[in-house]
């Protein structure tokens, strides 16, 4: 069952004119919507990103096609776990987004066995 929005997060104290100026991305990064935003689900795979494809040589092509790599600029969901293939596992905060050149995999986007293999590859 999806989480319901906290009334304090969605209620407005200011007019529409001032809300846009005071908080242009007011709800960005909050986990009150669906499982994943559309732009996060529509991503490249590790198979498509050649440096990642080469780095994960222990994975078959069909496995690489199942590993999503988030696009640069994708806002990460607060409290969600991700793997930066160049920097390790982390939990996102609400203001975080994928930086150019960063290869980020969402934990909830891959099978748990694949996730465990990715973490082992990253540590070795």
**Dihedral of the CA atoms 34, 37, 38, 44 (nearest 10)?**
-130
pLDDT, residue 39, reads 47
Query: Percent of the chain scored above 70 by pLDDT?
Result: 65
User: What are the CA-CA distances from residue 19 to residues 11, 12, 23, 47, 72 (Å)?
Assistant: 11, 8, 6, 42, 27
* Dist. CA 124–CA 121, nearest whole Å: 5
pLDDT, residue 90, reads 96
Sign of CA dihedral 105, 113, 62, 36: negative
pLDDT, residue 59, reads 95
pLDDT, residue 113, reads 94
76-123 residue pLDDT tens? 999 999 999 989 999 999 899 999 999 999 999 999 999 999 998 665
Q: Where are the domains of the chain?
A: 1-34, 37-123
pTM above 0.75, yes or no: no
User: What are 99's two structure tokens?
Assistant: 């930086």
* Dist. CA 31–CA 36, nearest whole Å: 9
């Amino acid at each position: 069952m999806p989480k319901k929005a906290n009334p304090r997060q969605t209620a407005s104290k200011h007019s529409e004119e001032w809300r846009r100026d005071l908080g242009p991305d007011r709800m960005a990064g909050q986990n009150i919507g669906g499982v994943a935003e559309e732009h996060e689900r529509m991503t490249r795979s590790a198979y498509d990103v050649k440096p990642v494809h080469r780095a994960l040589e222990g994975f078959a092509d069909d496995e690489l096609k199942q590993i999503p790599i988030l696009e640069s600029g994708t806002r990460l969901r607060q409290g969600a776990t991700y793997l930066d293939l160049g920097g390790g596992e982390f939990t996102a905060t609400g203001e975080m987004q994928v930086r150019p050149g960063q290869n980020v995999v969402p934990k909830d986007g891959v099978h748990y066995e694949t996730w465990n293999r990715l973490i082992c590859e990253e540590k070795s």
